[in-house]
C-alpha cells in the first residue's frame, strides 16, 4: 500500500475533486422570501432592543443611581437585586416570544416557500429528463418526489 508523505505546506497529497457550484436558484428574488426575511428581522429588532435595553438600563441604574438600587423592598431583597433577577425573566419571555413568533409566522411562510420551490425543481427535472423505463437493465430506479421524513 503506497504511503504519501505529508507536504511541508500541509496541502493534501491527492487531487481534490472538482466541485461544480450550482447557480443560485433565485430564491432571494422571490416575494415570499422577502416577506419571510421582513418578519424575521422585525421581530429580531424588537427582541434585541428589549433585551439589550433592559440590561443596559440595569447597568446604568446600578452605576449612576446606586442609592436607589440599594433601597430594600422587603427583607434582604433590594430593588437592584429584584431588577437583576428580572433580567432572567426578560430573557425567558424574549425566548418564549421568539419561539412562538417563529412557529406562528415564520415557519409557515418558510414551509410554503420550500414546498413551492421543490415543486418547481421537480417539474423542471421531469421536463428536462428523458422518459425512462422502470424495468430497463442498467437504468436506476427513481425515488419518489416526496423524500423521507426527518427524525
Mean pLDDT of 94-115: 89
Given the C-alpha cell 430593588, which residue does it identify?
Answer: 79
- Lowest mean pLDDT segment, chosen from 29-43, 46-60, 102-116, 120-134: 120-134
Under 8 Å between Cβ of 109 and 32: yes
Q: In this structure, what C-alpha cell is assigned to residue 12?
A: 493534501
- The confidence band for 64, taking pLDDT boundaries of 50, 70 and 90, is very high
Q: How confident is the model at residue 140 (pLDDT cuts 50, 70, 90)?
A: low
The reported pLDDT for the residue numbered 58 is: 93
More confident residue, 112 or 56: 56
Distances (CA, A) of 4 to 8, 9, 11, 116, 121: 12, 14, 12, 48, 43
User: Tell me, what's the pLDDT at 2?
Assistant: 55
pLDDT at 28: 72
pLDDT classification of 67: cutoffs 50, 70, 90? very high
pLDDT reported for residue 127: 84
For the segment 125-144, the average pLDDT, to the nearest whole number, is 61
Q: Could you state, in order of their start, the residue ranges of all structural domains in the chain?
A: 30-120
Q: Which residue has the higher pLDDT, 83 or 2?
A: 83
Amino acid at each position: 500500500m503506497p504511503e504519501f508523505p505529508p507536504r511541508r505546506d500541509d496541502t493534501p497529497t491527492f487531487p481534490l475533486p472538482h466541485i461544480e457550484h450550482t447557480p443560485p436558484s433565485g430564491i432571494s428574488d422571490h416575494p415570499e422570501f422577502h416577506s419571510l426575511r421582513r418578519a424575521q428581522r422585525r421581530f429580531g429588532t424588537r427582541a434585541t432592543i428589549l433585551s439589550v435595553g433592559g440590561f443596559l438600563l440595569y447597568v446604568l441604574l446600578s452605576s449612576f443611581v446606586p442609592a436607589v438600587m440599594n433601597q430594600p423592598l422587603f427583607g434582604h431583597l433590594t430593588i437592584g437585586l429584584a431588577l437583576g433577577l428580572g433580567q432572567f425573566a426578560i430573557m425567558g419571555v424574549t425566548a418564549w416570544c421568539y419561539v412562538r413568533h417563529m412557529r406562528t409566522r415564520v415557519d409557515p411562510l418558510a414551509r410554503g416557500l420550500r414546498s413551492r420551490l421543490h415543486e418547481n425543481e421537480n417539474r423542471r427535472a421531469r421536463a428536462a429528463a428523458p422518459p425512462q423505463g422502470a424495468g430497463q437493465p442498467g437504468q436506476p430506479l427513481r425515488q419518489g418526489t416526496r423524500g423521507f421524513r426527518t427524525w
